Amino acid sequence: MKKLLQKGIELVKDIPGRGLKAEKGCQVVYNARFFLRRGDEVTNDARPITLYRDRLNVRQIGSVELIDHTTILGKRQPIACVEKSLYGMQAGGFREIVAGPHLCYGETGIDGLIPPNALLRVQLWVQAVARTD
């Protein structure tokens, strides 16, 4: 039986973290990996890491280097599936989801990277959650 996080987002794996739960208005520092339905990883992190390592917060997760991303929940800064999946997560937490195209890159996709109407599998690691008020 599939577990839905919400309509259009299937929760594949959920490992809770500790501390404050991310909610609207919280600042969240997270890392993300994106995969197409058949397992091919979608990444444009490698080039910025190589070029701008001294200006970026880069985190090693296993053998993969990822850029730390920061968002304020409720401001619609990352794509919808990422923002909606971050709600309720805690520092040290991990989620893997499968999201429908309407919560990702929709009918247009990203030329040469993500095809139109693509389902995405997303892995999210939360590094920190803080209130902004």
pLDDT, tens only, 26-60: 999 999 988 998 888 887 665 555 555 666 677 77
| DSSP at 26 | -
106/37 Cα distance (integer angstroms): 14
Provide the pLDDT for residue 51: 55
Q: Where are the domains of the chain?
A: 3-130
pLDDT tens, position by position, 71-102: 999 999 999 999 999 999 999 999 999 999 99
Classify domain 3-130 at the CATH topology level: Chitinase A; domain 3 (3.10.50)
Number of Cβ within 10 Å of residue 28's Cβ equals 27
Number of Cβ within 10 Å of residue 72's Cβ equals 15
Number of Cβ within 10 Å of residue 48's Cβ equals 13
Sign for the pseudo-dihedral over CA of 76, 54, 20, 100: positive
In this prediction the pTM is 0.87
